[in-house]
Amino acid sequence: MCPPEHFAVTYAINPWMDPTVPVDTALAMTQWATLRDTYLQLGHRVDLLEPVPGLPDMVYAANGATVVGGRVFGARFRHPERAAEAAAHLAWFRSAGFPTIEAHLVNEGEGDLLVVGDVVLAGTGFRTDPAAHVEAAAALERPVISLELVDPRYYHLDTAIAVLDATTIAWLPEAFTPAAQQVLRDRYPDAIVASTDDAAVLGLNAVSDGRHVVLPAAATALAAQLVDRGFVPVPVDLSELLKGGGGPKCCTLEVRG
């Protein structure tokens, strides 16, 4: 995770961002700290990446890399405003002793590369280059399944799919092309289908440890669905960070050993 010390919305690279709407950085810090403390209370370890002045989106740490089996596949950002974040993430992993692989094509880390069991679901349409899916498969040594997004509000895959455990997802069908919808229905016939209202508060931008699902507090119907399926929803308020287009998952890069 990366503290939002420099969080601001000074440009717009997704539909959630409006530079004319004031941002309360202190409130963003408080909400982010609650998310961090939630992970700690659930028994997870949280490592911190030092925020860099001039990079207001670094709080969305999920976009910085994808880690599978202790191997780190770095990100390459679509927009120049975020480009320098990639090097900061790789530098942290290298200093921590992880083997790292630099990306040659645009991929936005766990924003578009979601690990579900032994496969990687890979988004494209707005940020990640579809050719980067082949690069990701080689780097992560996992099969990669390409999925095309069609709604700009759900510009990253992690805004339209929540990975709940090794075989279970929650998703919003309307965010995908018909072909991608069919792929997901065939592979995950028992998936939870989120409501458009819950998706619209980035309810699917959630983090699960296989039992506890940390999700935006406003996604109340999705929380009820999770309970019905045996999961334990853990709601958090990240309303200030939503102004940049992110939720719990965007703020969380999962380091898989």
- Does residue 131 fall inside a structural domain? yes
Active-site residue identified among 89, 133, 156, 212: 156
- Does residue 103 fall inside a structural domain? yes
- Does residue 1 fall inside a structural domain? no
CA nearest 208: which of 229, 189, 184?
Answer: 229
CA nearest 211: which of 35, 54, 97, 42?
Answer: 42
- Is residue 192 within 8 Å of residue 221, measured between CB atoms? no
Range of the domain at 187: 25-243
- Distance from first CA to last CA of the chain, Å, rounded? 16
Q: Tell me whether residue 134 is exposed, middle or buried, using C-beta atoms within 10 angstroms of its C-beta: 0 to 12, 13 to 18, 19 or more.
A: middle
257 has a pLDDT exceeding 90: no
Annotated catalytic residue 2: no
- Does residue 174 fall inside a structural domain? yes
- Does residue 9 fall inside a structural domain? no
Residue 176 belongs to domain with CATH number? 3.75.10.10
Structural domains counted in the chain = 1
At 127-184, the pLDDT tens digits run 999 999 999 999 999 999 999 999 999 999 999 999 999 999 999 999 999 999 999 9
- Does residue 53 fall inside a structural domain? yes
- Does residue 229 fall inside a structural domain? yes
- Does residue 237 fall inside a structural domain? yes
231 has a pLDDT exceeding 90: yes
Active-site residue identified among 2, 89, 133, 250: 250
State how far Cα 71 lies from the chain centre. 18
Annotated catalytic residue 44: no
At 61-113, the pLDDT tens digits run 999 999 999 999 999 999 999 999 999 999 999 999 999 999 999 999 999 99
